[in-house]
Structure 1
Amino acid sequence: MKKIYHLANCDTCQKILKEVDAVKQKAELQDIKTENITPAQLEEMKEKAGSYEALFSRRALKFRSMGLHEKTLTEKDYRSLILQEYTFLKRPVAIVGEEIFIGNTKAVTEQLRAALKKKS
């Protein structure tokens, strides 16, 4: 399985999808703004990532506006927030076989590109 959760209107996500050649690699793309993440999909991501916190973006604009930076969040909170508001998912998230790639750092992008090529 090759699946990438992204935002279609995010320039960074689009740049990464182009860099890793996601379409040519036949990765299934899911725009999380138009097609919400299901609890089952989030659970699968969590199993591979180890925690909901690893999937949570503190850069989301709502993180500060909701006052979350002043609270101590639990795994249950992270799960609930990601399911409620798509912007709380660190993007992009890619699942290639049993591996998961979270975020947009150069290192993660390179690892994702290598994994996609290996699985094609």
Structure 2
Amino acid sequence: MKKIYHLSSCNTNQRILKELELGDDVELQDIKKENIDEKALDFIKKKVGSYEAMFSKRAMKYRSMGLNEMKLSEEDYKKYMLEEYTFLKRPFIIFEDEVFVGNAKATVEAAKKAYQSS
């Protein structure tokens, strides 16, 4: 499977998609139109180790909902990501058995190498 969960209105996500030079073999899912489902979230969590690693603490709602002042559990992180796409640290990139989360330069470079070698 080759799939990317992204936000089409995000300039950073658009830049990353362009940088990856994707072919027709990659499925794109705009999380604003269709949020990630529990099965996909669980798959990615198994690859990265925790829901917290997939959770964006930069999301505006993180502070406005007071989540920054709470001690969140793994189940809390999962619940909030399933309820609200803004809590996803995007993009989520899946190339077969490899998963890349977020927009850090090293993460994008690793995803690019993985895609080009697939």
TM-score, normalised with respect to structure 1: 0.95
Gaps of 5+ in 1: none
8 Å contact kept, 1:25–1:116: no
**1:74 equivalent in structure 2:** 73
Look up the equivalent residue of 2:110 and give its one-letter code.
Answer: Q
Look up the equivalent residue of 2:38 and give its one-letter code.
Answer: P
**2:9 equivalent in structure 1:** 9
**1:18 equivalent in structure 2:** 18
Gaps of 5+ in 2: none
8 Å contact kept, 1:16–1:109: yes
Q: Identity rate of aligned residues, in percent?
A: 54
Distance in structure 1 (CA, Å) of the matches to 2:115 and 2:24: 6
* Residue-pair matches, total: 118
**Pair 19,25 (structure 1): closer, same or farther in 2 beyond 3 Å:** farther
**1:108 equivalent in structure 2:** 107
Select between 25-34 and 82-91 the one with higher mean Cα deviation.
25-34
* Structure 1 segments of 4+ aligned residues over 2 angstroms from their partners: none
**Cα offset for 1:25?**
6.0
Question: Over aligned residue pairs, what C-alpha RMSD do you find?
Answer: 0.9
Distance in structure 1 (CA, Å) of the matches to 2:24 and 2:16: 13
Distance in structure 1 (CA, Å) of the matches to 2:47 and 2:3: 13
Look up the equivalent residue of 1:81 and give its one-letter code.
Answer: Y
